């Protein structure tokens, strides 16, 4: 969070997304085990999607990761 006591609009918008908000709370409260379980569940869901739907699921996951990495790069370079 920023130095202000009130979070910015972007922080509030990201925390409104259930999985991202939960991960952010885990990081703030230093609940490492729960965060690792969340990462494991997401990876398992990705593997099961690829096993079930094959190549289209793999492409969808790759494009999602490209957008995520792009947003992280933009976020770190802007502030």
- Where is pLDDT greater, at 10 or 39? 39
DSSP 7: P
Tens-digit pLDDT profile for residues 30-42: 999 999 999 999 9
Span 32-78, pLDDT tens digits? 999 999 999 999 999 999 999 999 999 999 999 999 899 889 888 88
CA atoms within 13 A on the CB side of 33: 0
The pTM of this model reads: 0.68
Domain definitions of the chain by residue range: 9-78
Of the pLDDT bands very low, low, confident and very high (cuts 50, 70, 90), residue 3 is: low
Q: How much is the pLDDT for 1?
A: 47
């Amino acid at each position: 969070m920023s130095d202000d006591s009130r979070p910015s609009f972007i922080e509030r918008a990201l925390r409104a997304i259930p999985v991202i908000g939960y991960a952010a709370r885990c990081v703030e409260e230093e609940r490492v085990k729960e965060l690792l379980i969340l990462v494991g569940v997401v990876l398992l869901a990705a593997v099961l999607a690829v096993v079930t739907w094959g190549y289209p699921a793999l492409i969808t996951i790759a494009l999602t990761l490209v957008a995520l990495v792009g947003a992280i790069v933009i976020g770190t370079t802007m502030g």
